């Protein structure tokens, strides 16, 4: 599918590409302690109400936007929208504790997808590799890659919370190309599990792309449409001579 001689770089997405989080459906049960914080503070009746408001707010204000908001910024804006009567001191306390709870809970939800380590070993030395991740805590993609032994494979890890820009906005891809030494976009391959961010948007900037199609195991993922190069397992991502 891909010849190593046609590439100078591979850019990977991080979460649900190199590292899986939550369960196979994408359900965030592992973050229940974080969602419990505004419930305990009396701002919500139930965890599911917090989660529902966050997912609705995220679709309206984050999805498809070029600028990132950190975890605390997201929930501060969410509470300003849905709980405008909340006391400012209570909000500050809730946000600080939610971040603490996330940092404690999230790592335990992580695991490596089948075949990712052998895939990276196959490509190591064939091309240079980097990571571009949307995430709401700065440096956490790099930290989690390090935690799971994958960080040494990559020359750089660029995350949206650190740089303030997020996929699918053009800027974060252009920043990654600059960090990589400005290779010709056509000699860069982007691969990840988000159809827009990791397959369609990179193509519009002249890169090659492969969609890591997780739809068979995750109900939250979209199946690969026609004319989009896709794989469903890392064993399918092999450098051809």
Q: What is the pLDDT of residue 1?
A: 58
Q: What is the pLDDT of residue 69?
A: 96
Q: What angle do CA 140, 16, 233 make, to 5 degrees?
A: 140
Q: Say if residue 60's pLDDT is above 70.
A: yes
160-205, pLDDT tens digit by residue? 999 999 999 999 999 999 999 999 999 999 999 999 999 999 999 9
Across 86-113, average pLDDT:
96
User: Which residue did the predictor score with more confidence, 98 or 227?
Assistant: 98
144-153, pLDDT tens digit by residue? 999 999 999 9
Within 10 angstroms of residue 42's Cβ, the number of other Cβ atoms is 12
Across 202-225, average pLDDT:
90
CA dihedral sign of residues 53, 23, 196, 8: positive
CA distance 187 to 7: 4
Answer yes or no: are the C-beta atoms of 71 and 98 closer than 8 Å: yes
Distances in Å between the alpha carbon of 198 and those of 103, 172, 191, 232? Answer: 26, 12, 6, 14
Q: What is the pLDDT of residue 97?
A: 98
SS3 81: helix
CA dihedral sign of residues 90, 92, 97, 102: positive
Q: Which residues contact 42 (CB under 8 A, 6 or more apart)?
A: none
Q: Say if residue 126's pLDDT is above 90.
A: yes
CA dihedral sign of residues 224, 115, 217, 63: negative
Q: What is the pLDDT of residue 192?
A: 97
pTM for the whole structure: 0.94
Within 10 angstroms of residue 152's Cβ, the number of other Cβ atoms is 10
């Amino acid at each position: 599918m891909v010849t190593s001689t046609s590439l100078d770089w591979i850019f990977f997405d991080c979460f649900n590409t190199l590292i899986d989080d939550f369960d196979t459906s994408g359900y965030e049960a592992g973050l229940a302690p974080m969602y419990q914080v505004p419930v305990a503070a009396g701002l919500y009746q139930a965890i599911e109400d917090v989660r529902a408001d966050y997912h609705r707010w995220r679709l309206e204000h984050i999805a498809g936007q070029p600028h990132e908001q950190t975890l605390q910024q997201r929930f501060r804006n969410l509470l300003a929208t849905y709980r405008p009567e909340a006391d400012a001191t209570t909000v500050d306390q809730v946000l600080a504790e939610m971040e603490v709870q996330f940092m404690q809970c999230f790592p335990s939800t992580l695991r490596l997808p089948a075949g990712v380590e052998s895939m990276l070993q196959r490509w190591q030395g064939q091309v240079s590799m980097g990571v571009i991740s949307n995430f709401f805590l700065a440096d956490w993609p790099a930290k989690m890659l390090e935690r799971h032994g994958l960080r040494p494979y990559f020359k750089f890890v660029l995350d949206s919370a650190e740089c303030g820009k997020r996929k699918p906005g053009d800027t974060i891809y252009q920043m990654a190309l600059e960090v990589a030494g400005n290779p010709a976009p056509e000699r860069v391959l982007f691969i990840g599990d988000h159809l827009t961010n990791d397959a369609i948007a990179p193509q519009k900037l002249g890169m090659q792309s492969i969609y890591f199609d997780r739809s068979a195991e995750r109900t939250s993922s979209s199946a690969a449409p026609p004319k989009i190069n896709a794989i469903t397992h890392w064993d399918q991502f092999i450098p051809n001579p």
